[in-house]
């Protein structure tokens, strides 16, 4: 107990250098915990980009390729799915809901997705969260569009604005669908998923856009007349094919059965994937990023501990008289070792405690931003077992670092200490 008291007083007497070391360890601990929390939550959020969907069905291609095209809007599928096959599969026993997806157009670099009202009713992300609107509501007419939050924020669109989509998924397009401008009727709240970067239009609009070249003025007038007189216009129409579709089942028991039926479908080559499994496989492919994050955080901690070691070694020469006086009043060499080791453990522990406080302050101030911009759900929860283990590892490493100056002081002789001139 006396040794701990002595370590506290000795540390307080060197408060200037100790404070710098303390802050360095605190910041490194905060960074380590932050990176670990972001890594875990990013992995979880990545897996929850699409939630509550049992199967994704598209043309036969690779599992990851189909996932990237249909969920992340990255790349293309080789072929589409015929509308008749979509109707046939979605009418099978056990299917609770289906969401058709039609991709292939864009607007100023953002993907355009064609679907129907079921998209807003059944599409889920995160922990089975439904899409919600910041402004307006879902489309009701074939000439309306719902914007993701990032599309609206980046391009500055408001409700009632007119936009023109372009053919193709690239940022540069040489064919614009000028004959069919779309009116913004809804803006979704941020989700941190590809939904934020997507424009959502009815399937009927997709058909109109791609048939505009062969449409006659009479046909356009007929469509406009339909929009004016039909209280419930046909948003789906009869498209010839779609890119993919999502399926949800009444019971998980139907998932494997229907998946097998789809993969053996005779009318066309189709592929059904389980998004949770494929997302996990995709994250495994990206594990290098995860390892780099951990390496970076480990380097930060090592640098801070080396800084503490350097400070203790530098101050050791100035403390030789102090240590000699302790020896002269009866302190054994191993008492000196314990003293310096206890100081290192104390500084490291206080630094970690301060680092935990800074970590929670950082989480509280950035949780909304991380969720809306990156889809990473940071929350003020208790430290996990892994995070507690990392803190224990830092304290242990800091204590071991303290053994270096402690062992050096061990070999100082009493006469050597007393002969130092101030």
Give pLDDT, residue 201.
94
What is the domain range of residue 16?
2-46+286-418
The answer to whether residues 412 and 295 belong to one domain is yes
Which residue, of 217, 238, 273, is where some domain finishes?
273
By C-alpha distance, which of 374, 259, 247, 272 is closest to 67?
A: 272
Which distant-in-sequence residues (6+ apart) come within 8 Å of 124 by Cβ?
50, 51, 52, 53, 130
In the chain, the N- to C-terminal Cα span, in Å, equals: 31
Give pLDDT, residue 242.
93
Give pLDDT, residue 270.
93
The answer to whether residues 19 and 64 belong to one domain is no
Residue 280 within a domain: no
Which residue, of 222, 251, 273, is where some domain finishes?
273
CA distance 180 to 163: 9
Contact 380, 360 (CB under 8 A): yes
Dihedral, CA atoms, 323, 329, 334, 337, nearest 10 degrees?
A: -20
Give pLDDT, residue 316.
66
Q: Which of the two residues, 342 and 89, has the higher pLDDT score?
A: 89
Burial of 58 (0-12, 13-18, 19+ CB in 10 A): buried
Contact 356, 383 (CB under 8 A): yes
The answer to whether residues 249 and 118 belong to one domain is yes
The answer to whether residues 312 and 222 belong to one domain is no
The answer to whether residues 329 and 386 belong to one domain is yes
Residue 281 within a domain: no
The answer to whether residues 313 and 193 belong to one domain is no
The proportion of the chain whose per-residue pLDDT surpasses 90, expressed as a percent, equals: 29
Write the pLDDT tens digit of every residue in 2-20: 555 655 666 666 666 678 8
Flag the least confident range among 211-220, 258-267, 411-420.
Answer: 211-220
In terms of average pLDDT, the best of 172-186, 205-219, 336-350 is 336-350
Place of tokens 């801070």: 304
The answer to whether residues 60 and 91 belong to one domain is yes
Residue 164 within a domain: yes
Residue 407 within a domain: yes
The reported pTM is 0.66
pLDDT tier at 47, thresholds 50, 70, 90: confident
How many H-runs (helices) and E-runs (strands) does the chain carry? 15, 15
By C-alpha distance, which of 138, 134, 84 is closest to 115?
A: 138
The answer to whether residues 394 and 294 belong to one domain is yes
Count how many domains the chain has.
2
The answer to whether residues 376 and 409 belong to one domain is yes
pLDDT tier at 232, thresholds 50, 70, 90: very low
Which residue, of 252, 273, 294, is where some domain finishes?
273
């Amino acid at each position: 107990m006396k040794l701990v008291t002595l370590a506290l007083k000795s540390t307080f007497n060197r408060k200037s250098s100790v404070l710098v070391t303390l802050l360095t360890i605190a910041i490194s601990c905060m960074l380590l915990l932050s990176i670990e929390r972001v890594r875990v939550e990013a992995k979880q959020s990545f897996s929850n980009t699409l939630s509550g969907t049992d199967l994704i069905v598209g043309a036969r291609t690779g599992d990851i390729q189909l996932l990237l095209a249909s969920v992340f809007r990255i790349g293309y599928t080789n072929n589409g799915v015929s509308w008749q096959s979509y109707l046939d599969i979605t009418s099978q026993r056990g299917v609770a809901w289906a969401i058709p997806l039609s991709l292939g157009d864009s607007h100023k670099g953002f993907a355009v997705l064609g679907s129907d009202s079921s998209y807003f009713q059944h599409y889920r992300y995160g922990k089975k969260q439904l899409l919600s609107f910041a402004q307006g509501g879902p489309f009701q007419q074939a000439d309306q569009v719902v914007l993701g939050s990032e599309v609206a924020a980046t391009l500055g669109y408001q409700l009632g604005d007119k936009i023109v989509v372009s053919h193709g998924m690239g940022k540069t397009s040489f064919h614009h669908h000028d004959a069919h401008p779309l009116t913004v009727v809804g803006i979704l709240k941020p989700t941190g998923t590809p939904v934020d970067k997507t424009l959502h239009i009815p399937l009927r609009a997709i058909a109109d856009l791609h048939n505009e070249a062969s449409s006659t003025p009479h046909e356009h007038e007929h469509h406009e007349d339909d929009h004016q007189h039909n209280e419930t216009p046909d948003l789906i129409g009869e498209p010839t094919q779609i890119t993919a579709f999502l399926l949800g089942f009444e019971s998980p028991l139907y998932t494997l059965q229907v998946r097998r039926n789809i993969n053996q479908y005779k009318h066309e080559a189709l592929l059904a994937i389980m998004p949770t499994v494929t997302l996990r496989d995709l994250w495994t492919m990206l594990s290098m990023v995860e390892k780099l994050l951990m390496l970076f955080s480990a380097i930060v901690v090592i640098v801070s501990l080396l800084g503490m070691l350097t400070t203790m070694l530098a101050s050791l020469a100035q403390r030789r008289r102090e240590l000699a006086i302790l020896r002269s009043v009866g302190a054994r060499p191993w008492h000196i070792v314990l003293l310096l080791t206890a100081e290192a453990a104390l500084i490291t522990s206080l630094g970690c405690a301060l680092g935990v406080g800074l970590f929670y302050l950082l989480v509280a101030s950035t949780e909304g931003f991380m969720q809306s911009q990156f889809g990473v759900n940071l929350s003020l929860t208790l430290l996990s077992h892994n995070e507690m283990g990392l803190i224990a590892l830092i304290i242990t490493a800091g204590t071991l670092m303290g053994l270096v100056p402690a062992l050096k002081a061990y070999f100082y002789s009493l006469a050597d200490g007393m002969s130092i001139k101030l």
